[in-house]
């Protein structure tokens, strides 16, 4: 498997390997030597980013390479050069390409034309680097993934999708509660249900937040309005998603030892109360820190051709 575009391309063994590698890099950041010495990794970000941009840049640096940030206005793409031509040219200089953009088809086109690994750093549809980090964080906290229920509440967007796919692939019990009209895409539901069936975890898709958090070890949410969602949708989303806010009352319905997780950035007192995200049960900043070893693991695994993939 050359690229990391979405979680559903990974096998369960690939995911286990990535978590093992990330765990190793957390202990010993320099253990992979200078795999990327004298090489660059272009990082194309068409959307804002704090964590992904910096953790990926740090991961490239830890592997001995040089990250090169390129904004959408800095390449010839805006002047009509095709994604395919851009990918072919970049491949002559770069060891890998990191891309955050809107359409998944653009990232797929880039990956097909690129001779080097392409890493999806968030699209409208997926956020695989985040989901790998999230499982690393849960494993670190509870010591295991199997036997734990992860409850995701809120908008069924990119973060929800990658998280539910990864959690099911890892054999976790997955519960997703979204308002009508905000459910994850059918492909994500089918993948998660199939993995849950074969992997031993359960899968619940509901509109009832209380049903999702019952017996949950992890309660997870994301912003209600994602990058690329029209600003005009804000009021409608706030109204629809209000019952899915993660607050003290809802946390009280999960397991006694349940933790709260959020990919960040967070909007306090929208999708989560300040008391929950800043409280003792929140792993949100542990997740943010774990983005670095997770990014290092993904780069290492792709550069050394360690991932088998499904196709
Ligand atoms: N969680 C996450 O991807 O954050 P950034 O948008 O800041 O990269
Ligand atoms: N769903 C959010 C995640 C940000 C990390 C977005 O796409 O804006």
What CATH number corresponds to the domain at position 248? 3.40.50.1370
Task: Tell me if the pTM is above 0.85.
Answer: yes
Atom 4, ligand 1: residue with shortest CA distance: 51
Q: Domain range spanning residue 140?
A: 130-288
Active site residue 76: no
Q: Which of 45, 47, 52, 127 to mutate to test the pocket of ligand 1 (most atoms within 8 A of CB)?
A: 52
Using one digit for the tens of pLDDT, what is the confidence trace for 267-292?
999 999 999 999 999 999 999 999 99
Within 6 Å (CB) of ligand 1, which residues are found? 49-53, 122, 130, 263-265
Using one digit for the tens of pLDDT, what is the confidence trace for 54-82?
999 999 999 999 999 999 899 999 999 99
Choose among 118, 98, 100, 116: nearest CA to 108.
118
- Burial class of residue 206 in the structure, from the number of CB atoms within 10 Å of its CB (0-12 exposed, 13-18 middle, 19+ buried): middle
- The CB density around residue 31, as the number of other CB atoms within 10 Å, is 12
Atom 7, ligand 2: residue with shortest CA distance: 226
Q: Could you tell me if 88 and 184 lie in one domain?
A: no
Q: Could you tell me if 121 and 135 lie in one domain?
A: no
Q: Which-ligand-closest: CA of 123?
A: 2
Q: Could you tell me if 260 and 195 lie in one domain?
A: yes
Cα-based torsion angle of the residue sequence 227, 292, 57, 169 in order, rounded to the nearest 10 degrees: -60
- The CB density around residue 228, as the number of other CB atoms within 10 Å, is 15
- The CB density around residue 167, as the number of other CB atoms within 10 Å, is 33
Listed in sequence order, the residues at least 6 apart from 301 whose beta carbon sits closer than 8 Å to its beta carbon are 14, 17, 18, 21, 307
Active site residue 127: yes
Structural domain total, the chain: 2
| 235 domain-assigned | yes
How much of the chain exceeds pLDDT 70, in percent? 100
């Amino acid at each position: 498997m050359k690229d990391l575009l979405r979680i559903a391309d990974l096998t369960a063994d690939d995911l286990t390997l990535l978590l093992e590698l990330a765990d190793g890099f957390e202990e010993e950041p320099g253990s992979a030597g200078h795999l990327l010495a004298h090489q660059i990794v272009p990082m194309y970000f068409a959307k804002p980013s704090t964590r992904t941009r910096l953790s990926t840049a740090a991961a490239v640096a830890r592997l001995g390479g040089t990250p090169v940030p390129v904004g959408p206005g800095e390449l010839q793409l805006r002047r009509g050069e095709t994604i395919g031509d851009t990918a072919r040219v970049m491949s002559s200089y770069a060891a890998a390409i990191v891309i955050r953009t809107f359409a998944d088809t653009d990232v797929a086109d880039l990956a097909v034309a690129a001779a080097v690994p392409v890493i999806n750093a968030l699209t409208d549809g997926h956020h695989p680097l985040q989901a790998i980090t999230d499982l690393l964080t849960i494993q670190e906290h509870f010591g295991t993934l199997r036997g734990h229920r992860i409850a995701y509440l809120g908008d069924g967007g990119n973060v929800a999708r990658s998280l539910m796919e990864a959690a099911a692939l890892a054999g976790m019990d997955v519960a997703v509660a979204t308002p009508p009209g905000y459910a994850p895409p059918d492909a994500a539901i089918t993948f998660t249900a199939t993995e849950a069936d074969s992997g031993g975890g359960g899968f619940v898709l509901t509109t009832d937040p209380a049903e999702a958090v019952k017996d949950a070890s992890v309660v997870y949410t994301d912003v209600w309005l994602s990058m690329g969602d029209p600003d005009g949708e804000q009021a409608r989303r706030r109204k629809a998603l209000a019952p899915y806010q993660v607050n003290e009352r809802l946390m009280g319905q999960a397991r006694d030892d349940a933790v709260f997780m959020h990919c960040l950035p967070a909007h306090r007192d929208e999708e989560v109360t300040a008391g929950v995200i800043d409280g003792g049960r929140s792993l949100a900043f542990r997740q943010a820190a774990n983005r670095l070893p997770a990014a290092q693991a993904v780069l290492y695994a792709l550069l050394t051709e360690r991932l088998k993939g499904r196709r």
